[in-house]
Structure 1
């Protein structure tokens, strides 16, 4: 993978989170290919969105939620693997959401992981599918098995 590809993929994550946290619903949807998908796991179950209209509706719903302003989404420790043709790939990361309202200390509201499919379209890296899950269940079991060995 070239340094340019790595930086472009890291920028995709930054643009995605910046758009989400600042209420730029069009910019948020622009981070996906046509027909892009997003799957979010919460304590209430899994939510699925497909296509630009559903992604925009999801971002609009978050923007209207009274607890959302002040939330800051972070992704880090990206593991990126490109397919052999260099036009698609996978990215995995740790995800955190801090609630940054009022006075410090701020609350950590979400700790999880993402497993994303990426695709290059017209020279730009985009999400084909974002899958964000809590850090629990299978993730924790696999981690604990490694620690116990």
Structure 2
């Protein structure tokens, strides 16, 4: 596997690992040079905007959202000449809380674009495409 493909795959996985760990600042940092596009089409540009979105995630006593993101079918295409890459992956989010038994709460696809700046890969855009939704009541706080 080409080193650039390895680096891009690492970003795809880092998003899930940081989110499950409750490292919302770390998740936001992945978008320092990029944007997050919500299922509703809202575009959040830059780390600060992405970080504000994660204020709606419910964190439990251990500081995490008590989730586990499982990735599958990760496909990466790198254009080394242009310094760009794309990735598509399927995800399933499981959650278990003190009052919610272990269950899948969301499944869908990530459509990602990446850019290489000074030898380092960054998210340029992540678009989330949910396909199936379960009980999200203990995952995201209602906005009001």
Following superposition, the deviation at residue 27 of structure 1 comes to 1.2
Give the paired residue count: 130
Taking only aligned residues, the RMSD between alpha carbons, in angstroms, comes to 2.7
Gaps of 5+ in 2: 133-144
Structure with bigger gyration radius: 1
* 53, 57, 67: which one aligns with 2:52: 57
Consecutive unaligned residues in structure 1, runs of 5 or more: 137-149
* 2:94 is the counterpart of 1:98: yes
Hey, which bits of structure 1, 4+ residues long, moved more than 4 A?
A: 63-66, 102-105
Superposition map of 1:117-136 within 5 A: 117-135=113-131
8 Å CA contact 2:8–2:85 kept in 1: the answer is no
Structure with the higher fraction of residues in helix conformation = 1
In 2, Cα distance between the equivalents of 1:101 and 1:122?
42
- Relative to structure 1, the CA distance from residue 74 to residue 126 in structure 2 (aligned partners, 3 Å threshold; closer, same or farther) is farther
Q: What is the TM-score when the length of structure 2 is the normalising length? A: 0.75
